[in-house]
Amino acid sequence: MPKTLAELQTPSLILDRQKMQRNIDRMAARAKELGVPLRPHLKTPKSVHIAKHLQDAGAKGFNVSTLQEAEYFYEGGFDDLYYCVPFAPIKAARAAALAAKGCTLTLMTDSMEGVEACIAAAEAVGPATPLRFTLELDVDGYRCGMPWQGNDFIEAAQRLAASSATEFVGIMSYGGASYGKTPEGAAELTTTHLAALRDTASRLEAAGVPCEMISFGSSPAVLHSKSMEGVTEARCGIYTFQDLFQAGIGACAVDDIAVSVLTSVIARQPQHNRFVIDAGGMGLSKDRSTMGHPFDAQYGLVCDSVTGKPIGDLAVTTVSQEIGLVTSLSGKEVDLSAFEVGSTVRVLPNHADMTAAAYEDYFVVDGDDQIQAHWTRQNYWT
């Protein structure tokens, strides 16, 4: 086990535990202030070690983005898991097997035909306990969900409640459109979502299918909204790590970003005013979600390998599969003497989820270059 960053093979994924804890505590405090239980998303960290930190900060349960995450986290001791992606019927047997082990696994679908397909698949499997289903509302057209104003929505809930293989447990919506908005815009969007959720919950209750779960999410929505009245839980994900996209929309500071890629300088090219690192599209991801932001670090912001602080305006401006080219965003001359071949830098990610998914483990530090722990991640789907 390497003791310091200098002993690590490159590229490696580094997690600053202090920054992560600060992010976790801040969101826990925010949820407390809003008086809403928090259900953090595990699609970002994908590690039981990190789920433990979130649980210690008061998480009421977790979201997962794949059924495999649900299987992995249940094995790791976490038993209230919300797989909040429209459910693919081919996964019914796996979901039933996990529920049969004792996992409180909640699923989601978002149309009458989705309901029928899920019921048919569930009935074909014959689960030991009914599969728990929620329905998503399409409040703003951003991604998934079904129109919530009509009778279809009520009938879909009733169908889930009526089958012996499924159970209707509630509703959710996702304020993903908040990512493109100002803090005020995100708060306004939240108000619209909460009104739709409350209205739908009332109508469902009146129709004999009450909601145990009324779930709303997106990190910016929870950060900026003034109230979470009427929901039973708030869902947030990326805040655990944060990233340059989140910094770009004002949801965090660059100094809050808890994950980075440690990479070796493998060449210097004074003739092109740049140096070369052994992390490229594969190790940093090709996420360019910061494109169009006032500050856009291209494929990642380059930092000191020990302190984790940005070095001027150095960024990874070009990537090949395993190679990144680093230069100054403003075009000014780079002091290449500071970047000898064999020295290291760290790169902050545009989108932490995508970058972290390139690695099977984290090397954990506490603000310096001493490796405190080695935590595994769970990638893939099956």
Min dist. Cβ of residue 188 to a copy of itself (A): 22
Determine the interface stretch with a copy of itself among 53-61, 98-106, 198-206, 266-274 (rule: CB under 8 A).
266-274
| Closer residue to a copy of itself, CB minimum distance, 86 or 220 | 86
- Two tokens at 69? 């995450």
**If binding is defined by CB under 8 A, does position 22 make contact with a copy of itself?**
no
Instruction: Please work out the total of residues on this chain that contact a copy of itself, with binding judged by CB under 8 A.
Output: 66
Min dist. Cβ of residue 33 to a copy of itself (A): 28
- Three-state secondary structure along the chain? CCCEHHHCCCCEEEEEHHHHHHHHHHHHHHHHHHCCCEEEECCCCCCHHHHHHHHHCCCCCEEECCHHHHHHHHHCCCCEEEEEEECCHHHHHHHHHHHHCCCEEEEEECCHHHHHHHHHHHHHHCCCCCEEEEEEECCCCCCCCECCCCHHHHHHHHHHHHCCCEEEEEEEEECHHHHHCCHHHHHHHHHHHHHHHHHHHHHHHHCCCCCCEEEEECHHHHHHCCCCCCCCEEEECHHHCCCHHHHHCCCCCHHHCCEEEEEEEEEEEHHHCEEEECCCHHHHCCCCCCCCCCCCCECCEEEECCCCCEEEEEEEEEECCCCEEEEECCCCCCCHHHCCCCCEEEEECCCHHHHHCCCCEEEEECCCCECCEEEECCCCCC
Site string for a copy of itself, 133-172 (x = CB under 8 A): -----x--x-xx--x-------------------------
Task: Pick the binder of a copy of itself from 23, 47, 63, 66 (CB under 8 A).
Answer: 66
Q: Are 121 and 158 in contact (CB under 8 A)?
A: no
Give residues with Cβ within 8 angstroms of 302, minimum separation 6. 310, 311, 314, 315, 316, 326, 345, 346, 347
Min dist. Cβ of residue 87 to a copy of itself (A): 7
* Structural Rg of the chain based on CA atoms: 22
- Two tokens at 354? 């995508």
Site string for a copy of itself, 279-318 (x = CB under 8 A): --xxx-xxxxx----------------------------x
User: Among 35, 87, 93, 40, which residue's Cα sits nearest to residue 64?
Assistant: 40
| Closer residue to a copy of itself, CB minimum distance, 47 or 289 | 289
**If binding is defined by CB under 8 A, does position 268 make contact with a copy of itself?**
yes
**If binding is defined by CB under 8 A, does position 121 make contact with a copy of itself?**
yes
| Closer residue to a copy of itself, CB minimum distance, 124 or 195 | 124
Determine the interface stretch with a copy of itself among 195-203, 228-236, 294-302, 338-346 (rule: CB under 8 A).
338-346
| Closer residue to a copy of itself, CB minimum distance, 329 or 358 | 358
Task: Pick the binder of a copy of itself from 153, 239, 359, 362 (CB under 8 A).
Answer: 359
Task: Pick the binder of a copy of itself from 320, 338, 370, 373 (CB under 8 A).
Answer: 320
Task: Pick the binder of a copy of itself from 29, 128, 206, 267 (CB under 8 A).
Answer: 267
Min dist. Cβ of residue 264 to a copy of itself (A): 4
**If binding is defined by CB under 8 A, does position 348 make contact with a copy of itself?**
no
**If binding is defined by CB under 8 A, does position 47 make contact with a copy of itself?**
no
Determine the interface stretch with a copy of itself among 158-166, 277-285, 298-306, 326-334 (rule: CB under 8 A).
277-285
Task: Pick the binder of a copy of itself from 47, 65, 327, 328 (CB under 8 A).
Answer: 65
Site string for a copy of itself, 89-118 (x = CB under 8 A): xxx--x--------------xxx-xx--xx
Orientation angle between helical segments 112-125 and 151-162, nearest 10 degrees: 10
Amino acid identity at 218: S
Residues forming the site for a copy of itself (CB under 8 A): 8-12, 43, 65-66, 85-91, 94, 109-111, 113-114, 117-118, 121, 138, 141, 143-144, 147, 176, 264, 266-269, 271-272, 276, 278, 281-283, 285-289, 318, 320-323, 325, 340-342, 351, 353-354, 357-360, 380-382
